Amino acid sequence: MARPDVLSLDELAAALRAQPGEAYLWSLPRFAARAQQRLSVPAVPSLDDLPEKARVLIVLGGGARIDEAKLWRRDVRPGLRLIAIPSLWGSGAEASPVVALDRDGKKRIELDDALLPDARCVWPELAEDLPEWRAREACGDAWSHAVEGFLSPLGGEGLRAEIAQLLRSMIALPLGRDAAWFEASAAACAAQARAGVGLVHGIAHAIEGPLARDLRPDERAFGHARLCSLFLAPVLALNRELSPKFDDFTAAHGVDGAAVLAVADALFDRTSYRRTLGVLEANWRSVLLDPCSRTNSALVRPQHLTFFTEERFR
């Protein structure tokens, strides 16, 4: 699988100056003015407003916005050069040929090399004002990609060795604001795209929509990153009960398994977790049917719901 070119912000700005009039920006509104100033390109309010003369589209935002641009470029303007600037780490959408989008309350997931951006650019300053809880959950998203890719039955030993090296570097990073997470999450998402993910993602995909409909006015949304952070520790505990793969693979590849489990425990929040359990129980069949659950490192069965609802992992 090809990988996007990696540009610094200064390199991107210089490249755009060399070809004036060809590039347009589609950005989250709160970053648009700053991006226009730094890159000297006009912005469009929607993808459908992109002029026919455009040769380059710069998309700036989180995973959902980048995925929208990836899908639109493939389906509507396949000749367009796409450059992705993530406003936050975690999803790694800027480095992945996968899109995961909400459609009618369900996740639409596609894997296609044509979805891969042509280039990606890291702009660390965009995360400087990030709330600590959002930064931490974004770290959990990256961790779930790396760990589930590492354990995936679809990954070979070569890829597993590559992810093991990544895991060793991630263990040294704090769970919070650190610009190094941009590269770590891009690497984690690119790697899991070659291997698949597992039950953490199956749960997140199945219950994110129902939780949004069930949300109380005073609650913070249970987005994808938050759910991946909450369920990483419980799913790892179930996988270790059902299979020796986690312990065998970490030992074989020189990964500190205890440190990985400690990170998962640090991401876990019991109060938030218990709030999800009624929705998890009501949607357990959807969890089992999710394609990600089917590529979990251990076979998940209907009776395993009680492992989560009875908190047998604690």
Measured distance CA(5)–CA(121) in Å, rounded: 8
**Are 99 and 108 in contact, with CB atoms under 8 Å apart?**
yes
pLDDT the model gives residue 103: 78
Helices (H) and strands (E) in the chain, counts: 14, 7
Place of tokens 């070119």: 5
Q: Tokens at residue 56, please? A: 């380059």
pLDDT tens profile 178-192: 999 999 999 999 999
Measured distance CA(15)–CA(167) in Å, rounded: 34
For the beta sheet containing 119-122, the strands, ordered from the edge strand earlier in sequence to the opposite edge, are: 5-8, 119-122, 81-86, 56-61, 23-27
Place of tokens 């042509």: 118
Q: Tokens at residue 148, please? A: 């589930």
Q: What is the mean pLDDT of the chain?
A: 95
pLDDT tens profile 42-63: 999 999 999 999 999 999 999 9
Amino acid at residue number 154: L
The SS3 of residue 169 is: helix
Domains and CATH numbers, the chain: 5-127 (3.40.50.1970), 132-309 (1.20.1090.10)
Q: What is the CA radius of gyration of the chain?
A: 20
**Are 90 and 138 in contact, with CB atoms under 8 Å apart?**
yes
pLDDT the model gives residue 24: 96
